[in-house]
A and B are shown apart, each in its own frame.
Chain A
Amino acid sequence: MKTSIHRRLEQNRAWLEERLQRNFDVVIQDIEHDGKKTAFLVYIEGMADSEAISDHVMAPLLRQEWDHISASQREEAGDFETVLEAVFSGNGAVFFDKSDKAMIVNVRGGTRRGVEEPNSEAVIRGPREGFIENLRTNTALVRFKIKSPNLKMESFTIGTETHTQVVLAYMEDIVDPGVLKEARERLQRIHIDGILESGYIEEFIEDNPYSPFPQFQYTERPDTAAAQLLEGRFAIFVDGSPFVLMAPVTLMELLQASEDYYERFMIGSMIRILRILFTLLALYLPAIYVAVMTYHQDMIPTHLLLSIAAAREAIPFPTIVEALIMEVSFEALREASIRLPRTIGQAVSILGALVVGQAAVEAGIVSAPIVIIVSLTGIASFTIPRFNLAISLRMLRFPMMILAGIFGLVGIVVGMVLIGTHLARLRSFGVPYLSGLGPASPKDQHDLFIRAPWWRQLTRDHAIAHRNRKRMSPPGNRPPGSQEGSP
């Protein structure tokens, strides 16, 4: 299938011109010497660094000093397909007269967004740099953190048209080889014309595509990615996406934020417990409200019931309808404000707060308690650090509410059992989704509900890094106060 390069320069040029016709961004630059064409250079305007081309490629070529082409990587290619792929990745290709090899020079450049603070995962304490769309920058950002030859990065090219470069990164001495082999195979099985975001890859290689729960974690933060690599997970970088995928993932892992590890352990643990509590609220609160208000009024403290009853007195809708209306409008409000530019987004939230919140309550269309419940649920879902988990819980809230509206607390219990069994069955690259809880592992408790101080976290997560669990050796990590001579 491959078209090999001809020894005659003219013929090569003609082939390329035909293949690349009507491509205004392709530049074919002839090098003439003594009135004779001796070589030509192909590159894509905008993707290649024009300064590198003129200084390090064109200048030596014009001086006929072939060996002085000083681009950082030089490769030889014998066929046009390799050349084209390289050129479309931003490289330059030099064809010489009387040579059936083309020289591929790395002059990649072009303008890309600079490294900025990640938008989707802000922290108070922690590094401020985030991944960008450039794969090389992203891999380098991680390499800056893990300066070890054990950090391996395997490259794949996926997408018959986009030829997107995908990098599978892992710590060779920690990762489970079985998981790695599976990941490699799943990546190789992907056949699609284009990969434009890491989400494409995620859907192709996740274990259970019909599960509402995410089986990958994604991050915009190099420190998070590095931490996950050190835990024995693998990471998938996709060129053109600032999000790096990480697996295997567990439910508890998705409830952890990078800052848990950066703040002192007591604060980290407290915040984590708070977050777990609010995660449960985000899923169950409206359902419990509906169930209790329509079936189990006896469960509410009397004074609270009287207050709620007073607020609900003139409401025309049953509680379940009221709750559904408010939840749906809240979701719509949230969706609307995400898509809009930030300036208009504020207007939307004002509209939402005023119109839906205040006016609806004052007009007696919805009751104040349901607005409180919906707001609390909304806040609760924002405490979940991973957007993909938050959104799946938000989605599951609706069936829970309907179950609660039909069957009361019995319905909620049924829903809990269904979700629970599903979670217990779910696996991410062979690792049980509830690892740590079920199968319960006492050794992992130091980083589950609480975040133990670093000097107590001697082992890595057992479910994931079962090949190499030792994180540190105890002697050098005496707990504070036990050190001799401490003041």
Chain B
Amino acid sequence: MMRACRFAARLMLLPAMALVVAGCWNRTEVNDLAIVQLTSYDWEDDQYRIGVSFPLVSQMSGTQGGGGGTGGKEGQNNYLESAKAPAIRDAINHVQRKLSRRLYFAHRRVLLIGETAAERGVKPILDTLSRYPENRISTYLLVAKDSALGLMQTPVLTERVTAEMFREILVNIMKEPVTARDFIHAILTEGVDAYTLVFKRTKTDTPGKEKADTVEIDGLAVFRDDKMVGILEGQFLDGTLLALGQLNRPVVTAVLPEGGGPITAQFLEMTSRIEPMVNGDDIRMRITFSGIVEINSNETDTNLIHYEVNNEVTKAIERQIQKEVSAAVGELQTRFKADVLGFGSSVKRNHPGVWKRIGDRWRDLYPKVPVEYRFNIRMEHAGTLKNPIHHKAGEY
């Protein structure tokens, strides 16, 4: 009996504790949170302009009730607010003062950094980001062409949340999109320079239809230390990502030496290895591409079933890759002098002794490092068609 009484008394203590600790404890209901999905960092008038975007959950589709929400078009599911202050954290506080809900950053998907802010240096942004545990450094970090706030305001129609648009595009294209963690790591590692993708606002391109806003990849932002030094556009973007082995199932279009239409090939898997070849102080880099490829389209008159032809096609693909990559590497080496591919760190890892001698001079050596390419590409199959479809039977 005594034991039972004592046990009951102890149980009674629990609700009593609740009274004591309530209030100073950090219990938060989800109704009191603004679940931030996207933030933007811009530099204007010598101040940071911080924008935050979070979904208005009550107006999200798939829920009943709610009533007044207009919803649907123009991306009104998202609430957007921004503020300006010399310090990033202050700006966030200014935003917070205008909100009834606590800004909650743990679910932020994407960080957008405006072009000017990126050129000025991203260290202050990364510092505030990594100091506070609620901020996840697994957030994807992107650079926005022109203003990040402007890009963030793009109404998206295909996703419920704007941030999702950026994230899905990234995940579709890259194997491992650049997160804030990767970015910080690149800045802090010797012999590597940071990079990330650049997004810009654009219009849909369907003649005869009203143009709608959307976003697209503009290029690759190249950094030296924490400052953006330029944007690699178009073909150079693909070349760099190929060299990094970051493209998700890349598609390569090649032309055979004897001419004819293009042959398009898609890699089922593709990896790249960057290794230094050191001979005294003579440093050369070798990029090896390995992968399995299948033919998506063949507009030539060639029957791809023959071994020799396969070989020709593979060779053409290799030439095409080498062309794209070497162009991109050339840009990186000479125009930006930024070691995005991590040549330096591969030397450091494989030949630490050499690196000790040349590490200090790497910035000067890097643009002159010769790069050679090796390929280990196998054509898995030429698609389900044997002959090009415009051939008549027996013609070959």
Contact = CB atoms under 8 A, between A and B. Distances in A.
Given A298-B134, A302-B109, A406-B21, A310 B63 contact: yes
Given A302-B107, A302-B109, A314-B58, A403 B14 contact: yes
Contacts of A314: 58, 65-66
Interface residues of A, number: 28
A315 interface: yes
From A293, A297, A302, A405, residue with most partner B Cβ within 10 Å: A302
B35 interface: yes
Contacts of B28: 294-295, 297
A318 interface: yes
B31 interface: yes
B62 A297 contact: no
A297 B65 contact: no
Interface in A292-345: 293-295, 297-298, 302, 305-315, 318-319
Contacts of B106: 297-298
Nearest to A293: B30
Nearest to A362: B64
B31 A309 contact: yes
Contacts of B62: 307, 310
A402 interface: yes
Interface stretch (B3-11, B181-189, B276-284, B328-336): B3-11
Given A302-B109, A306-B161, A406-B14, A297 B3 contact: no
A297 B33 contact: yes
B137 to A, nearest CB: 13
A364 interface: yes
B384 interface: no
B135 to A, nearest CB: 10
A406 B31 contact: no
B4 A210 contact: yes
A399 interface: yes
Contacts of B70: none
Contacts of A319: 29-30
Interface string B1-32: 00110010001001101100100011111110
B55 interface: yes
A346 B44 CA distance: 68
B27 A309 contact: no
A406 B134 contact: no
Nearest to B107: A302
Contacts of B26: 295
B27 A315 contact: no
Interface in B44-63: 55, 57-58, 60, 62-63
A312 B101 CA distance: 14
A297 B58 CA distance: 18
From B28, B30, B33, B55, residue with most partner A Cβ within 10 Å: B30
A312 B65 contact: no
Given A295-B28, A319-B29, A399-B11, A306 B60 contact: yes
B107 A309 contact: no
B35 A305 contact: yes
Contacts of A308: 30
Interface in A347-367: 362, 364
A315 B29 CA distance: 10
Nearest to A290: B27
Interface in B82-115: 104, 106-107, 109
A399 B11 CA distance: 9
20 contacts: A293-B30, A295-B26, A297-B35, A298-B136, A302-B35, A305-B30, A306-B161, A309-B30, A309-B35, A310-B57, A311-B63, A313-B63, A313-B66, A314-B65, A314-B66, A403-B14, A405-B18, A406-B17, A406-B18, A406-B21
Given A297-B28, A402-B18, 15 more contacts: A294-B29, A295-B27, A297-B104, A305-B35, A306-B160, A309-B33, A310-B60, A310-B63, A313-B31, A315-B31, A362-B64, A364-B65, A399-B11, A402-B14, A403-B14
Which 9 residue pairs spanning A and B have beta carbons closest together?
A298-B106, A310-B57, A310-B63, A313-B58, A309-B57, A309-B30, A302-B107, A406-B18, A294-B27
